[in-house]
Amino acid sequence: QVQLVESGGGLVQAGGSLRLSCAASGRTFSSYNMAWFRQAPGKEREFVAYITWLGGSPVYADSVKGRFTISRDNAKNTLYLQMNSLKPEDTAVYYCAATEKWKLFTSTPTNYNSWGPGTQVTVSS
């Protein structure tokens, strides 16, 4: 399995921006489709964004569409999430996750078999 570590979280005012990174090690990063999920206190983990192993076909949750952008750099073994126009309801722990490249798109957390420890994003009003 690939090992994942997120970074870039923090405290930001509403309307601000953050860029999350997810560094991968171990198995070949380009063998995996990647996704971002988030989990707010007392809520279930929810899908945020997805990108294929080649860096194409991004998929976004309706709640972040037009504000967040997922991207990856396979040469740097890194996944990114650019978050703009942040809202207080974006406050959560953000996780990156990996699934094998032969699998079709899924937004179900249980279909991803590698996870990072998460990074906290807090948006103040």
Q: Strand 59-60 to strand 92-100: parallel, antiparallel, or no bridges (unpaired)?
A: unpaired
At 64-117, the pLDDT tens digits run 999 999 999 999 999 999 999 999 999 999 999 999 999 999 999 999 999 999
Closest CA to 33 of 103, 94, 82, 119: 103
Cα distance between residue 24 and residue 42, in whole Å? 28
Q: Give the residue among 3, 4, 25 at the shortest CA–CA distance from 119.
A: 4
Q: pLDDT (tens digit, 9 = 90+) per residue, 30-51?
A: 999 999 999 999 999 999 999 9
Query: What span, in angstroms and rounded, lies between the C-alpha atoms of 31 and 98?
Result: 9
